[in-house]
Structure 1
Amino acid sequence: MNDYIKDREESVKKLSAEQVLPNVQWFPGHMTKARRIITENLKLVDVVIELLDARIPYSSANPMLQEIIAGKPKAVALNKADLADPAITREWVSYFRSQGVQAVAVDSTQGKGTKQLVKLTEELAKAKTEKLVSKGAKARAARVMILGIPNVGKSSLINRLAGSNKAKTADKPGVTRAKQWIRLAAGLELLDTPGILWPKFDDMNAGLKLAFTGAINDEAIDRELITGVFLDTMIKQYPERIKERYKIGADLPETSGELLELIGRKRGCLLKGGIIDLEKVQRIVLTDFRSGKLGTISLDMPPEN
């Protein structure tokens, strides 16, 4: 095995997750602004939709939000369900319902689950809107706030619900920076808000999974270490997906370093002298996971009910 890969692999075993994610600013200025926007505008809405990544529902849930939105009717939308293991997503939906929270699996790209989400949101807002009418107020559309961490697909979902590109989107976290009210033909008014992380991770494994999915900007992570940890996870949980994607007929190597080298040779990621182009292989592996080319994968399991 390439000596450099071997050395880096040994360093992964010795590092904590905080060291693997050395440059992440958990609460930069625009995150502080996002929290203020949410707090100030919460009184304007009837229902909150918390958008989670279906591949990592636990890791993509912002614990700080639960304190902020306490008392508001809430629905959970498990977005990117097309990229997650459908059986595990069903388990998550059942788990949330067992906790008294209505949840819907959503694929905002294809629109699957969005009608169900709209119906659920209208039902949750009904008590508030009918109460206003009973007090003499003019009937109005249900008002909803969309909340979630960066890069979980809020803008894509809103655009799907609105039927047009009303919310700015980009394939990187932190694009939505200010609040936007968006009226839907379905009779809802959506309040989009900036994605918001939290000050620190009590569970650093959650931070790693956020790095896998791209919720944490790649510029803030050690991509080589993250890729190594990701491949270790895949070797344990989804070895067949790796073998199928990279056409590996034999048993997988036991270590991520050896696997990274094997994938590099399979894909022709070679520099002069037959040295593996590590950066190129890392980009390939993470991009394949994030785009679904490794198949449907779930990295968080629901707690036992």
Structure 2
Amino acid sequence: MRLQNILRNASKFRDVFDFGERQVTHWFPGHMAKGMKQMKANLKKVDCILEIHDARISFIEQNPLFQQSLAIRPHLLVLNKMDLADPSCKQRVLKQLRESGVRNVLFTDCLRQTDENVKKIVPLVAELIDSRPRYHREEEMSYCLMVIGVPNVGKSSLINALRRTNLKKGKASKVGGEPGITKAVLTKIQVCERPPMFLVDTPGVFPPAIENVETGMKLALCGTILDHLVGEDVIADYLLYSLNRLEKFSYVDRYDLGEPSDDIQHVLKRIAVKLGKTQRVKAITGVGDITITMPNYSAAAYDFIRAFRKGDLGRVTLD
């Protein structure tokens, strides 16, 4: 009965998100050009491209820099953070990727101590490399892969998971929950002895132009863009819009809302009250200044966004 009431109220939700006059160009730092140049110089030294996406946003466009390389080199697309994505969308995602020409796809959760699909990467990559000519590398006995992707999708986590799985060794790449941890193209990192396989870690880079504001918002919501460049208030509102559109209402119980809402100010106020996130501010009245306690909307938005990114609001696929 409660679910029926929730769905009945869904007609009150927004059909589209109002992006206003927002532009995405200032969201993406210019320093990535240096990383792109380094990556391009290293492409001729690799046998395979290992492309990492966040499984919640599988269809973010590929970087044009790699289009030619993907056509002549083996390519494996790894959809990471599958523990945060909606598993019911998996077959639809695979179907759409295959229709777009992407054949080799694995879903992974690199933070798990043991992930069966991580175990499949080395043998699958070796098979893909051996099935094609190795341009300029026929005499090399070892395999070399380049790991590419936008920031904060788990490239370094994947490298560490491969080392843990195949070499029984610890971390080789620094991992963090914010974009921009890997700053430069690194030296080769060994991830397997038999066959000898090395990876080249790279900084997260975006395509030179993001196709639209909504794509930029999905990237921001998944933590690939620094929050302050977009605005946590905007990200929180887009998150609320997305959860309601996808009928993912676990936020209602988490924050004791009683029922879903499409009003971000109402939701943030309830979150602030629930978590005790308040602030004291001065107000001018006719009888003088008084101090009143107000909800801390910024702190509430911060908690709301991070709850989504950790999976505390359920498993969600945004595409």
Q: Structures share a fold, TM > 0.5?
A: yes
Cα drift, residue 129 of structure 1: 7.1
Cα drift, residue 86 of structure 1: 1.0
Distance in 1 (alpha carbons) for counterparts of 2:203 and 2:47: 19
The unaligned stretches of length 5 or more in structure 1 are: 1-11, 301-305
Change (3 A) 1:95 1:281: same
Cα drift, residue 115 of structure 1: 1.1
Task: Find 2:111's aligned residue among 82, 87, 109.
Answer: 109
Aligned: 1:182 with 2:197: no
Aligned length: 280
- Would the aligned equivalents of 1:17 and 1:207 in 2 still touch at CA under 8 Å? no
Matching of residues 1-305 of structure 1 within 5 Å: 13=18, 15-18=20-23, 23-24=26-27, 26-29=28-31, 31-59=32-60, 61-71=61-71, 72-98=73-99, 99-110=101-112, 111-112=114-115, 113-128=117-132, 137=139, 140-163=141-164, 164-180=170-186, 181-185=188-192, 186-187=194-195, 188-248=197-257, 250-272=258-280, 273-300=292-319
The unaligned stretches of length 5 or more in structure 2 are: 1-16, 165-169, 281-291
- Would the aligned equivalents of 1:76 and 1:103 in 2 still touch at CA under 8 Å? yes
Deviations 1:27-60 (A, max 9, x none): 512x11111122111111111011000011123x
Cα drift, residue 184 of structure 1: 1.8
Cα drift, residue 209 of structure 1: 0.8
Higher mean C-alpha displacement, 86-95 vs 209-218: 86-95
Percent identity of the aligned residues? 27
Change (3 A) 1:230 1:191: same
Change (3 A) 1:14 1:47: closer
Distance in 1 (alpha carbons) for counterparts of 2:98 and 2:312: 30
Cα drift, residue 128 of structure 1: 4.3
SS at 2:295 equivalent: coil
Distance in 2 (alpha carbons) for counterparts of 1:217 and 1:125: 36
- Would the aligned equivalents of 2:51 and 2:149 in 1 still touch at CA under 8 Å? yes
More strand by share: 2
Structure of higher RCO (CA pairs closer than 8 Å, 6+ residues apart): 1
Distance in 1 (alpha carbons) for counterparts of 2:131 and 2:311: 40
TM-score by length of structure 1 reads 0.83
Greater radius of gyration (CA): 2
Cα drift, residue 206 of structure 1: 0.8
